[in-house]
Homo-oligomer: A and B are copies of this chain.
Amino acid sequence: MSKGTVGGGGTTMLRRINVAAVLDAVRRSAPAPLRVAELVERTGLARPTVAQAVDELLDAGWLQQHGPDSADRSLGRPAIRVSLRGRAAPVLGLDVGPHRVTVGVSDLAGRKLSLVRRSGPGWTAQQLLGVISEVITEALAEAEVPAEDVAAAVAASPGIVDEHTGRVQLVPSVPGWSAIDLIKHVRGLLDCPVMLDNDANLAALAIAAARGGTGTLLAVQWGERLGAGIVIDGRLHRGTGAAGEIGFIATAPDDVINPEDSRGPLERAVGSEAIAALGRQAALDHPESRLAELGGEQLDTADVFAAAAERDPVAQAVVQRVARDFARALAPAVLVLDPTAVVIGGGVARAGAVLLDAISDQLRLLTLNHPKLELSALAEDAVVTGAMRMALDEVWQRKLPTPALTSTT
């Protein structure tokens, strides 16, 4: 309950509003530098007001001054241009998976300063904490950012995340992981606000930011597990904390969910392991097929899609079945949510057009407003990028206080 200062205040508040307006205008045109005259136009403020705000922001280190653009051949005295000083408040994103830890450091303008990835074969929870510390240190060193400068950090974990306690439920892949307080651990390294969120949510945030604009996005992460994030007009939808858990959608008419299971029905039906299993069975049934030829003994998911891309009817049948199960499961959610776009990422997304077209055909039969169906352009960086994005949002939300009328009941 933020007491007092709910809205309005004295002239100092007004000044803060105007400084924030100027900073926000610079942020929106990042990374392009802006002239003061442009700031005057965009904020609607008077020149002295803008100038004073710019001075203040320069002193505080939020803005940096550029020399006149030599390419700009306009008449008259060349304008001073300012842009965000990225190093003012770098942020850190952390993607923790059972076999891989990724850390990204980004500056205030959203430019990546470093990205460090480390893979390993199934760490324990304790080992994972050690790896996290190492990779964070390495990424900060590569970005040349002292640990104490980091303004915010966001960690991504699979499973269902409790926003408040920072604990994770439902993580089968790493034994003991749900007992770890990851936020506390990271805060011990960084001394800044640290947040934790679901990996699918953060990937969705990154994809939404990359697509830009408003609207509703349903971003599916499709690998061994299935999860989805929902972004509505740039804001993440979390529900009560477990929104987007599409892996647990029932597929067979008498499926029943057991929250204790490591996999949900849809994951068992169309997760990457299931696809590989379907492919192996099909190869056994049709040893003469291109699929059997391609896959051999250790046929995996990629082989199925490769064979289907070569028009092998056996593989195509498998893809058809997967696409159908997936579309049938997702259609009710698409009808209810009516998203602008559905983006598919994760390992299975590497299948490409073969799978996408099949899903699109099925989904078209089951929905009213057909959303755009796309593959994620961000590939495996989506989660870290989203984590950095959320950390950035956090920093901006703290720096740009919307002063009026925002308090909730």
Contact = CB atoms under 8 A, between A and B. Distances in A.
A14 interface: yes
A340 interface: yes
Contact of A337 (B9, B25, B336, B367): B336
A257 interface: yes
Contact of A43 (B6, B239, B329): B6
A7 interface: yes
Contact of A328 (B244, B250, B407): B250
A172 to B, nearest CB: 14
Main secondary structure of the interface of A (DSSP, over half): loop
A21 B43 contact: no
Nearest to A14: B14
A29 B28 CA distance: 37
A70 interface: no
Count copies of this chain in the complex: 2
Interface stretch (A60-68, A124-132, A213-221, A293-301): A213-221
Given A9-B44, A335-B246, A368-B242, A403 B404 contact: yes
A408 interface: yes
Contacts of A32: none
Interface in A352-369: 365-369
Interface size band for A? 35 or more
A241 B330 CA distance: 19
Interface string A157-195: 000100000000000000000000000000000000000
Nearest to A396: B405
Nearest to A400: B405
A43 B7 contact: yes
Contacts of A284: none
B4 A9 contact: no
Interface string A367-381: 111010000000000
A337 B340 CA distance: 16
Interface stretch (A105-113, A114-122, A141-149, A230-238): A230-238
A382 interface: no
7 nearest A-B residue pairs (beta carbon): A239-B338, A8-B44, A7-B21, A4-B44, A7-B44, A243-B338, A333-B336
